[in-house]
Each structure stands twice: as C-alpha cells, then as structure tokens.
Amino acid sequence: MTSPGAPAAFLRSRNFVLFFTGRAVAKLGDAMLPIALSAGLIQQGHGPGAIGAALASLTVFLAGFVIFGGVFCDRFDTRALMIGADLVRVLTQAGMAALFLSGHVVLWQVCAIGAVNGVCAGLFQPGVASTIPRVAADVQGANGLIRTAESLAMLLGPALAGALVGAFSPGGVFAAHAATYLLSALCLGLLRLSPETEWRPAERGSYRADLAEGWREFRARTWMWSVILIWMVYMVTVSGPLVPLTASEIIPADGPGVYGLVNSALGGGTALGGLLALRFRPVRQLRAGSLALLGCCCYPAAVGLGLPPAAMMAAAAAWGVGGGIWSVMWATSVQTQVPGQVLNRIHAYEVAGSLAMMPVGQALAGPAAQLLGGRTVLLAGGFIMVGVSAALLSVPAVRDLRAVTHRAGARPSHDEPPVRRGGGHRDVSA
C-alpha cells in the first residue's frame, strides 16, 4: 500500500495540475460534441442516419489510426505530437463552427472533418498513457483523479451543450469545443519535463518493424492480451448494445427525463468509483478491478426486468462505480507494468482492440432485440457481465499481477514533491 500522503504529493505538482486541467477541459468539450452535432444536423433537415455517419467517421478513423499513432509517439517527441493534434482540432472545430453558423452544412464536409478529428485523436491518445507517469509519481492516484474529472465532464458537457445551443446555435458549441483543444495544447506546452523523464527512443528501424515490435511486446504480456480478448466479447455482448437498448426501453416507458436521470446516476457512480480508487490501493489491482466489475451486472439486468426508475438509477450508479474502479486499476497497470520505450505502441494496441468491437455490438443490438426482445438481451447482458468478471479472475496472469508503485526506470518531473512508497513489487514475468 502507498502511504496516505501520496495523493496529496502529486496534487502539489505543477505539471500534474496542468495536465489534469487540459484533460478535464478537453473531455468537457468532447462531451458537448454529440449534442451539438445531433442538434445541428436535425436543424438542417438531416435524420438519424446522418448523425450516425457523422459520429462514426470519427470513431472509425480513431480505431484505424491509433496503432500508427502509437508508433509515431514512440519514434518522435510525444508531447509535440499531442500539441500538434490539439492544434489541428482547433482548426477543424473552428471550421465546423463556421459551417453551422453560416447555415450551409454539407454532410460529406462534416464527415470529412470528423475523419480528420479521428486521425488526430489516434495520434493524441497513445501519448496519454506515457505522459501520466511523467507528471505524477502516484500513477494510480493520478488516474483516479483524472477519471473522476472525466466522469464529471461527461455529466456537465451535455447540459452545457444544450444551454449553448439554446442561447446561441450549434455553431457556438463547436467554437467552444475548439477553445477546449486550444487550452489543452497550452497546458501541454507549459509542462516542464526534465530530461530524465523524456523517453528517448533508441535507433529505430522501419515503421513496420516498430509495429511488429509493439505487437510482440503486446503478445508477450498474457495479462494484457487476455483482458483485451475478454473485453472484445464484453463490447459485443454488453457495452455495445447497452445505450441503444436502454434508451429504447426506458424512454417509451418512463420518458426522456427518467433516461437522463439514469445516465446522470451512471456518471455520478463513475466519478465515485474514480474517487474510491484514489484511496483504495490493492496489491493485485486487476483482481480488485475484476471484482468491482460484478457491480456492472446490475444496470442491464434492472432495465431488462423493468424495475422502477429509482432502482434503475441505483443500478446505473453501481455500474458506474464498478467501471470507474476497473478503469483506474487497468490504466495504472498498463502505465506502470510496461516499459516507457514501448508503452505508447502497446497502449495503442489495447485501445484499438477495445474500440474495434464496439460498433459491432451497436450494429447487432437492433437485430438481437427484434429476434429475442430488448429486455431479454439486456438480461442476458447482466449475466454475461458476471461471466466477464469470472473470466478475468480465471486467468492467473490477470488475478495475480502485483501492483508496481512506479514504472521501472522512470523519474518524476523536477517539480514533483518526493513521495514515500510502500512495498510494491514488480511482476517480472509480466
């Protein structure tokens, strides 16, 4: 266990405060995007198909490019690439704002901008995993606080977007979104990373060789690829169908207001899970996270059983708490167990593996509901969630992986206060 004073130490770090601020504000902007895009396209006479295409353009290009983004981050200056990705998105979102403010919105242009944003996200995201250990000695505490802030942003973002759309127009939301990326780039640019924290790549071969090396490193860690395989099943059977099926069950029966309250409870539970992970320091993080995932079975089961709104809200909060704890334990394990020289590429592979099956689950939700009934599919999702937790715990490399208090070979930045450490151990077999 780390000492009780550890979280306070990284909170005094200028570097962490800057990185945390940039991530929280950018996530707030990302949470506003679906509302602005949906409202703007509907005002222009487009339907659900256009909204889906616009949102999918970002997701598809993110999933397709993130592996290459991991290679670029390992070969070049990670922070410079992240700043560049943010600045490009400042321009794209400013362009989107101009489209909607002008009233001349062309769908292919919206999708093209979404594709560029997806490529930028694929270039940015791998660097997040390697930057957190460079700005905070307490990696788990940092992940817990960042996860809490992201959850709160997901709660506030849609409400703020709705207010901006009502007061101004969807174009105003896109302008605000561009400003969030500008602030993120500024925060990254102000980081003071001492030379000891910079991961300088050794002499490199070709890009293809780097991709192959990343894949070998990914395959060499049984605990990692086992989790990703199980997570792909989870995405197809539980997470992918969850949003369309819960919306189709709750809104007709109880109204959109109740659906909004249920989603607020889910976001609040996720924030609580992140806060709990600030103080809960298990020796075997993935075992603890896998047990926490048992709480996630409650939400799809509650909707599938047609329980009253209060019960569905409680179940959604339980899903959020379990998912929040798992996400912190998983991110911390990846960031501390993997050497910095290959962390960006390995993180890219696990992000790509996690994202790849989400659209499949979303696409299968409708046919499965027509064949079996939406409530039956949700009930099955609750049982499968228990199986996901059990499957994770059944893999020795997952349940027995011991926590590492700090990544081997990494040093905190020069403004980081010293942190007393407990008895963390590296599992060299990982």
Strand, coil or helix: 414: coil
Residue 194 has a pLDDT of 67
Residue 280 has a pLDDT of 83
Which of 128, 150, 137 is closest to 346 using CA atoms?
128
Q: Which residues of 89-117 are buried (b: 16+ CB within 10 A; e: fewer)?
A: bbebbbbbbebbbeeebebeebbebbbbb
Q: How confident is the model at residue 56 (pLDDT cuts 50, 70, 90)?
A: confident
> 251 lies in a domain?
yes
- As a whole number of Å, the CA-based R_g of the chain is 21
Q: What residue type is 151 in one-letter code?
A: S
pLDDT surpassing 80 at residue 311: yes
> 40 lies in a domain?
yes
Which of 294, 177, 311, 319 is closest to 243 using CA atoms?
319
Percent of the chain exceeding pLDDT 90 equals 31
Q: What residue type is 392 in one-letter code?
A: L
User: What is d(CA 191, CA 185) in angstroms, rounded to the nearest whole number?
Assistant: 10
Q: What residue type is 208 in one-letter code?
A: R
Same domain, 317 and 373: yes
Same domain, 11 and 112: yes
Which of the two residues, 24 and 358, has the higher pLDDT score?
24
pLDDT surpassing 70 at residue 406: no
Which of 192, 81, 201 is closest to 134 using CA atoms?
192
Which of 168, 152, 143, 162 is closest to 19 using CA atoms?
143
Residue 419 has a pLDDT of 38
pLDDT surpassing 90 at residue 182: yes
Q: Report the range out of 151-165, 275-289, 291-305 with the highest average pLDDT.
A: 291-305
> 375 lies in a domain?
yes
**Tokens 């105003």 correspond to what residue?**
172
> 244 lies in a domain?
yes
Angle (nearest 5°) at CA 128 between 194 and 355: 165
Same domain, 163 and 235: no
Residue 98 has a pLDDT of 92
Q: Which residues of 369-401 are buried (b: 16+ CB within 10 A; e: fewer)?
A: beeeebbebbbbbbebbebbbebbbebebbbeb
> 411 lies in a domain?
no
Same domain, 256 and 146: no
Q: What is the mean pLDDT of residues 243-259?
A: 77
CATH code at position 180: 1.20.1250.20
Would you state the structure tokens that stand for residue 118, as one six-digit string?
Answer: 């997806």
What secondary structure does DSSP assign to 85-135, as a single string? Answer: HHHHHHHHHHHHHHHHHHT---HHHHHHHHHHHHHHHHHHHHHHHHHHHHH
Which of the two residues, 408 and 226, has the higher pLDDT score?
226
Q: What is the mean pLDDT of residues 269-279?
A: 87
Q: What residue type is 161 in one-letter code?
A: A
> 382 lies in a domain?
yes
Residue 235 has a pLDDT of 87
Q: Is 121 exposed, middle or buried (0-12, 13-18, 19+ CB in 10 A)?
A: buried
pLDDT digits (tens, 9 = 90+) for 63-120: 778 878 777 877 778 888 999 999 999 999 999 999 988 888 888 999 899 999 999 9
Residue 151 has a pLDDT of 81
Task: Among 169, 191, 213, give the residue marking a domain's end.
Answer: 191
Q: Report the range out of 277-291, 363-377, 399-413 with the highest average pLDDT.
A: 277-291
Residue 312, C-beta contacts closer than 8 angstroms, at least 6 positions apart: 250, 258, 262, 299, 302, 303
Same domain, 290 and 388: yes
Q: What is the mean pLDDT of residues 405-428?
A: 41
Same domain, 136 and 277: no
Which of the two residues, 365 and 201, has the higher pLDDT score?
365
Neighbours of 316 (CB within 10 A): 27
Residue 195 has a pLDDT of 57
> 72 lies in a domain?
yes
Residue 421 has a pLDDT of 36
User: What is d(CA 220, CA 39) in angstroms, rounded to the nearest whole number?
Assistant: 46
Q: What is the mean pLDDT of the chain?
A: 81
Range in 238-242, 258-262, 332-336 the model is least confident about: 258-262
Which of the two residues, 27 and 425, has the higher pLDDT score?
27
Same domain, 29 and 142: yes
Q: Quote the domain boundaries for residue 23.
A: 1-191
Asked if 419 and 138 touch (Cβ cutoff 8 Å), the reply is yes
Q: How confident is the model at residue 256 (pLDDT cuts 50, 70, 90)?
A: low
Task: Among 139, 172, 191, give the residue marking a domain's end.
Answer: 191
Asked if 419 and 9 touch (Cβ cutoff 8 Å), the reply is yes
Same domain, 120 and 51: yes
Q: What is the mean pLDDT of residues 318-339?
A: 89
Residue 425 has a pLDDT of 32
| Overall size of the chain counted in residues | 430
Asked if 107 and 46 touch (Cβ cutoff 8 Å), the reply is yes
Q: What is the mean pLDDT of residues 22-35?
A: 86
Same domain, 263 and 390: yes
Q: What is the mean pLDDT of residues 144-160?
A: 82
The dihedral built from the CA positions of residue 333, 339, 343 and 349, taken in this order, carries a sign that is negative
Number of independent structural domains in the chain:
2
User: What is d(CA 422, CA 62) in angstroms, rounded to the nearest whole number?
Assistant: 38
pLDDT surpassing 90 at residue 294: yes
User: What is d(CA 54, CA 48) in angstroms, rounded to the nearest whole number?
Assistant: 10
User: What is d(CA 240, CA 31) in angstroms, rounded to the nearest whole number?
Assistant: 18
Would you state the structure tokens that stand for residue 240, as one six-digit string?
Answer: 């992918």
Q: What are phi and psi of 357, to 5 degrees?
A: -90, -10
Would you state the structure tokens that stand for residue 169, as one six-digit string?
Answer: 């127009």
Range in 128-137, 178-187, 360-369, 392-401 the model is least confident about: 360-369
Q: How confident is the model at residue 177 (pLDDT cuts 50, 70, 90)?
A: very high
Which of the two residues, 280 and 5, has the higher pLDDT score?
280
Q: How confident is the model at residue 234 (pLDDT cuts 50, 70, 90)?
A: very high
Same domain, 175 and 247: no
Same domain, 184 and 228: no
> 422 lies in a domain?
no
Same domain, 173 and 240: no
